Chain A
Amino acid sequence: GAGVSQSPRYKVAKRGQDVALRCDPISGHVSLFWYQQALGQGPEFLTYFQNEAQLDKSGLPSDRFFAERPEGSVSTLKIQRTQQEDSAVYLCASSLGATGSSYEQYFGPGTRLTVT
């Protein structure tokens, strides 16, 4: 079956531009996570959705970062006025259950964002 897909796979943005990153989770998965992975580091939690509800956004680095999942399936991570420090791989993961820690997270391939 289809896994988690993300688009675009690569994005180059000039500093100050806005970008939108898309995540298509596995069909029927209740939970959706966004992570930021800097080069040579582990993923860092950004935000969590249970269906369409954003239950935790404590990891978003600034108010330039915004995520939504309006219909409880596809999610978009938007970064406004991109800065060089935003350059990273953005990973999306989904899991079947409603309690994030109790179910396996399936990761997408990520979107590599480079801000020039």
Chain B
Amino acid sequence: QQQVKQSPQSLIVQKGGISIINCAYENTAFDYFPWYQQFPGKGPALLIAIRPDVSEKKEGRFTISFNKSAKQFSLHIMDSQPGDSATYFCAASPTGGFKTIFGAGTRLFVKA
């Protein structure tokens, strides 16, 4: 059962543009929503994370928007750069739990 649905599967953005990746979840017990960035041959690395008590979190060029009622959250990358080209995963984990559920990933390519 896919508990975290991520879209789009792939994304091409011009340098300087805004990249937007969306995720939806089903389990209302989830209370921690991280985004990971993965480069080829490397493990995922935490980019930014949010809890459902806030609707938005910004760190540099990266912003998470969170809609608890719709059970959706999204990642916005402002002023996208070629170095941002990577695969991005949204994830969710439950209160006091250990099992982090990952989305299927979005391959982002930023054209120079």
Contacts and interface: CB of A to CB of B under 8 A. Distances in A.
B103 A42 contact: yes
Interface residues of B, number: 27
A99 interface: yes
Contacts, number: 64
Interface string B37-63: 000011111100100000000000000
Interface size class of A (residues with CB under 8 A): 20 to 34
Given A56-B98, A105-B100, 16 more contacts: A33-B98, A40-B104, A40-B105, A42-B89, A43-B44, A43-B102, A45-B100, A58-B99, A91-B43, A101-B95, A102-B32, A106-B46, A107-B43, A107-B44, A109-B41, A109-B42
Interface of B: 6, 31-32, 34, 36, 41-46, 49, 89, 91, 93-105
